DNA sequence: TCATTAGTTCAGAAATTATGAACTACAGGG
DNA sequence: CCCTGTAGTTCATAATTTCTGAACTAATGA
């Protein structure tokens, strides 16, 4: 198994970051890794979406996040230790990650509110 | 020709915005539309990249920006009047567009500096 | 009416992404 | 050591998305 590739911070591009985070599964993973201050092994995310994600697909998602420079992955025995590189990215592109994560949270809140109000509507209609 | 589709601001998603702006040609177009306070017609961008972009491709790029909610396009006689929707987006996702545009500018500056220093190196070597 | 300009649409080609199956790497027994 | 199980990667191909030339629409003006 060839060693995992991680770009140097100067090689990280905005395009790659935006592309990596434009996928709902990948942002969810990334948000989770940032949230847990420490790390995460991949299999925790098998059910991150509504439909279970095959592990080969998950592996590719982690690869995409790594190669965009968003996370660092290193082997810890049999499993993977994934950490976010947000401090480095913050240095290179100040405020970028924070703005994206915040926008995502706003969207999530909006969706939750919309679902709740829809439920109320359905309840009233009965 | 069916009328152009524009999502309502509540329907705009972070994923769609990031995806739209993860393409170098599209960010260039978008940055230009924001830069020019007013508008831009498409053909100005035929040579925005190093290689000329076919106009069907360009049309698709504009469509992607429109459908992501980033710009609004309306016919003005024979040509197109494109305006950014950044005020709306700022309201929904504060700071997002600014952070992305700023990150892009940083990257552009870095690239220019790198090119300059490379030229100096080549000059010294002669 | 015809020619011109600006842009869209469509269909097939090219590129990217998803996924099952096979494989690698490690850990913990026996 | 050699199994067995677990975690994750790789590879080949299927599914999806994107690109692009060609045909088309719509407006303008001579």
Q: In this structure, what CATH number is given to the domain that contains residue A21?
A: 1.10.10.10
Q: Which domain holds residue A48?
A: 9-94
Give the closest residue to A67 by CA, choosing from A25, A15, A1: A15
- Return the percentage of chain A with pLDDT > 90, whole number: 70
B28 domain residue, yes or no: yes
Q: At residue A9, what are phi and psi to the nearest 5 degrees?
A: -60, -30
Specify if B108 maps to a domain: no
pLDDT of residue A38: 60
Q: List residues in chain B touching A: CB distance below 8 A.
A: 10, 13-19, 21-24, 27, 92-96, 98-100, 102-104, 106-107, 110
- Proximity of residue A57 CB to strand D below 7 A: no
B76-113 as b/e, with b when 16 or more CB fall inside 10 Å?
Answer: eeeebebbbbbebbeebbebbbebbbbbbeebeeeeee
Tell whether A102 is covered by a domain: no
Closest CA to A69 of A24, A22, A26, A5: A5
| Per-residue pLDDT tens over the stretch A64-85 | 999 999 999 999 988 999 999 9
pLDDT on residue A121:
79
Taking CA atoms, B55 is separated from B2, B12, B20, in Å, by 19, 26, 18
Confidence (pLDDT) at A2: 65
Write down the pLDDT at residue B123: 82
Within-domain flag for A77 = yes
**Which is it for strands A79-84 and B71-76: parallel, antiparallel or unpaired?**
unpaired
> What is the pLDDT at residue B37?
63
Bridge partner residues of B82 (DSSP): B73
Q: In this complex, do B22 and A24 lie within 8 Å of one another by their Cβ atoms? A: no
| H/E element, A9 | none
Nearest CB to A22 within list B19, B93, B95: B19
When scoring A11, A14, A92, A108 by the number of chain B Cβ atoms within 10 A, the one with the most, hence best to mutate, is A14
A27, A94, A103 ranked by CB distance to B93: nearest: A103
pLDDT of amino acid B40: 65
In a domain, B102, yes or no: no
More confident position, A103 or A126: A103
* B48 class by beta-carbon count within 10 Å (0-12 exposed, 13-18 middle, 19+ buried): middle
Taking the C-alpha atoms of residue B89 and residue B12, their distance in angstroms, rounded to an integer, is: 8
Residue A81 CA to residue A49 CA, distance in Å, equals 21
Give the nearest partner residue to B95 out of A16, A102, A104, using CB atoms. A102
> Is position A104 within any domain?
no
pLDDT on residue B43 = 63
Residue B9 and residue B91 in contact, taking contact as beta carbons nearer than 8 Å? yes
Query: What's the domain count of chain B?
Result: 1
Is B71 within 8 Å of B82 (Cβ atoms)? Answer: yes
What is the per-residue pLDDT for A43?
63
Q: Is residue A120 part of a domain?
A: no
Tell me if A19 and B24 make a contact (CB, 8 A cut-off).
no
Asked whether residue A29 is domain-assigned, the answer is: yes
Per-residue model confidence as pLDDT tens for chain B (126 residues): 667 999 999 999 999 999 999 999 999 999 999 988 656 666 677 677 778 899 999 999 999 999 999 999 999 988 999 999 999 999 999 999 999 999 999 999 999 998 888 777 788 776
For residue B11, what is the enclosing H or E element? none
Residue A81 has a pLDDT of 93
Tell me the average pLDDT of chain A.
90
pLDDT digits 0-9 by tens, A22-60: 999 999 999 999 988 666 666 677 677 778 899 999 999
Residue range A2-31: mean pLDDT, rounded: 95
pLDDT value of position A123: 83
């Amino acid at each position: 198994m060839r060693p995992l590739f991680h770009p140097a911070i100067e090689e990280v591009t905005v395009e790659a970051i935006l592309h990596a985070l434009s996928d709902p599964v990948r942002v969810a993973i990334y948000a989770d890794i940032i949230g847990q201050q420490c790390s995460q092994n991949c299999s925790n995310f098998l059910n991150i979406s509504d439909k279970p994600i095959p592990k080969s697909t998950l592996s590719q998602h982690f690869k995409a996040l790594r190669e965009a420079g968003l996370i660092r992955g290193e082997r810890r025995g049999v499993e993977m230790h994934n950490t976010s590189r947000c401090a480095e990215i913050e240095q290179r592109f100040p405020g970028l990650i924070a703005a994206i994560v915040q926008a995502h949270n706003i969207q999530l809140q909006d969706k939750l509110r919309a679902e709740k109000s829809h439920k109320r509507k359905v309840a009233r209609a009965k």
